[in-house]
Structure 1
Amino acid sequence: MMEAYLKSVQHQLAYYKKIGEQAMAQLSDAELFWQYNTESNSIAIIVKHLSGNMISRWTDFFTSDGEKENRHRDIEFIPDFSSRAEVLACWDQGWNCFLGVINALKEEDLSKEVTIRQEKHTVIAAINRQLAHYPYHIGQIVFIGKMLRATDWQSLSIPKGKSADYNAKTITKNQS
């Protein structure tokens, strides 16, 4: 059962990473930095926050608190990228750290305890915490992208009004 859980987690995380990348690929450089207002976050800021969280939580995962002393969370919300390349490098750095740990986990690791903000979690609880957090922010990236691109947006899932077509294709594919 635990092996199936790990495979499911790995699959879901790869899916959300891909969704974020596909959303950002549809946007211009300027759109990555667009903010609705000063209280909202740009996609670049969301990426910076996700990466900061991933690096803090998953570096030395078993041996140190997931909220590292050198992490300055509030700085993650200050825009300071100047290019798409910097945003994508930050994205890759966070995901590489996170997925490196996730993909190396063994079934026996899942019942071990780790600490996040001085609170004990099983590895399963720590993973589940991130399975809620990261897709939440990737949903924000997609939502911002859809607002900006409007009718030029290429759906990353089943487009509106196309459920029947999708279902028919899925049924046909599964029957062959």
Structure 2
Amino acid sequence: MDNNYLESAKKQFEYYKQLGDKTFAQLSEEQLFWQYNPESNSIAMIINHLNGNMRSRWTDFLNSDGEKEWRNRDEEFEQLITTKTALLAKWNEGWVCLFDGIKALTTADLTKTVFIRNQAHSVTEAINRQLAHYPYHVGQIVFLGKMCADQNWQSLSIPRGDSDKYNADMFGKHK
């Protein structure tokens, strides 16, 4: 495996961050804190969880367990943040930690062993683990965003019923 893997992983993380950013841009402060019921998570809770996970996993990535002593996972699912500004700062803080961690890696690091909850992973496996985890939660954020925005939702991909137009536009650009 070469540097293409690290660049590919970074691009995938950037894509999912962008989906979250585009979702937040469509929502009011109140909608970010909305819960379907007391047992479900709000977008704010998911952001707080992602922040905790990203900071824990990517801080001192190669040298310490990905589950840090200072992390309080249970607290991540409480409504502790109260403003959109603070929430988006938390969102960005997690991603900065992740991107700094990825940027510091080299091809030679990919086969090194890191630990998450005392379980050994190659660096590649640890990155893949996060590439499965974060999109899972970003998908939840997008779904909740669509529910909250309702008829005002602007599609983040190809709008329903516009596949033919999209394909015609894309093929027209490549001719």
Q: What TM-score range do you get, normalising by the shorter chain?
A: over 0.9
SS in 1 for 2:35: coil
TM-score (norm. length: structure 2): 0.97
- After superposing on structure 2, the runs of 4+ consecutive aligned residues of structure 1 that deviate more than 4 Å are none
AA matched with 1:15: Y
Deviation at 1:174, TM superposition (A): 2.0
Structure 1 Cα separation of the partners of residues 7 and 165 of structure 2: 29
Alignment of 1:127-146 (within 5 A): 127-146=127-146
CA offsets, 1:38-65, max 9 Å, x none?
1000000000000000000010101100
Structure 1 Cα separation of the partners of residues 6 and 170 of structure 2: 25
AA matched with 2:109: D
SS in 2 for 1:51: helix
AA matched with 1:83: T
Alignment of 1:3-152 (within 5 A): 3-152=3-152
SS in 2 for 1:69: coil
Deviation at 1:103, TM superposition (A): 2.2
Deviation at 1:2, TM superposition (A): 2.3
AA matched with 1:174: H
Structure 2 Cα separation of the partners of residues 45 and 33 of structure 1: 8
AA matched with 2:66: G
AA matched with 1:33: F
SS in 2 for 1:120: strand
Of residues 101-110 and 150-159 in structure 1, the stretch that sits farther from structure 2 once superposed is: 101-110
AA matched with 2:95: W
TM-score (norm. length: structure 1): 0.97
Structure 1 Cα separation of the partners of residues 62 and 53 of structure 2: 16
Structure 1 Cα separation of the partners of residues 153 and 104 of structure 2: 36
Deviation at 1:166, TM superposition (A): 1.1
Structure 2 Cα separation of the partners of residues 27 and 11 of structure 1: 25
% identical equivalent positions:
56
AA matched with 2:132: A
Instruction: Quote the residue 2:169 is aligned against.
Output: 169
Gaps of 5+ in 2: none
Gaps of 5+ in 1: none
Aligned length in residues: 175
